[in-house]
Structure 1
């Protein structure tokens, strides 16, 4: 592959990553506004946030589901339900050997200790995805745009008593 075509590929991947991060940012902003976006429920977004908070640089998370459940106040069933779309969308990855207490955040979601580590991880992830060794993050495909959150006017409530 020529250096020019390699650069074009990197630009396309960078554009894809920028668009993906914009989508993730929009999802987080929408969640902060109280809506559920991109097919991830509130519990799934809270679980993803807890995983992001507990990660080591590079995206490894060493925590049992019981610890995560307890931290978020979720039942076992709710935690399983919340983890399901995170796994099916490839935001959270489990090792092939299913090591107890180990989750990995997709390299596009993980944090890194330095800008250089981030750039190297993104480049490696793109190569692994191209080779079929790492799944791409998926998002639901909508035939029509999901509904926008309707603003609700504030209203007065009576004091108890």
Structure 2
């Protein structure tokens, strides 16, 4: 079945759609949708080639669907790259960029990098709050000048 026909069948109603306000945007929770926007370009269900970036047990996992697979295959075959979080931000972004740029889906390169960067920043531990600086009488109260 062509991807255009699949999108025509899925666009009006599917279990992954998230509707907010009547005049607001429609979002999607489907796997393989990088920006969670309900559109044909980012759809993980309607497109044969998808890139899925997810966080699995502290590792960034980049999953793509293999396109050169027998049509009689029972389940879609996937190609998975795992990037450890301690490998560094530059390495993770480089792997994500090369996956998208390699001719697979170059139009999703920016979205792949944005999703990877967001997951990496969410994995970092937040810094502690700096100590409060006292001003006025409270600052000089304990000190004799």
TM-score by length of 2: 0.27
Structure with the higher helix share, 1 or 2: 1
Looking at both structures, which has the greater relative contact order when contacts are Cα pairs under 8 Å and sequence separation is at least 6?
1
Q: Which has the higher strand share?
A: 2
For the pair shown, which has the larger CA radius of gyration, 1 or 2? 2
TM-score, with structure 1 as normaliser: 0.25
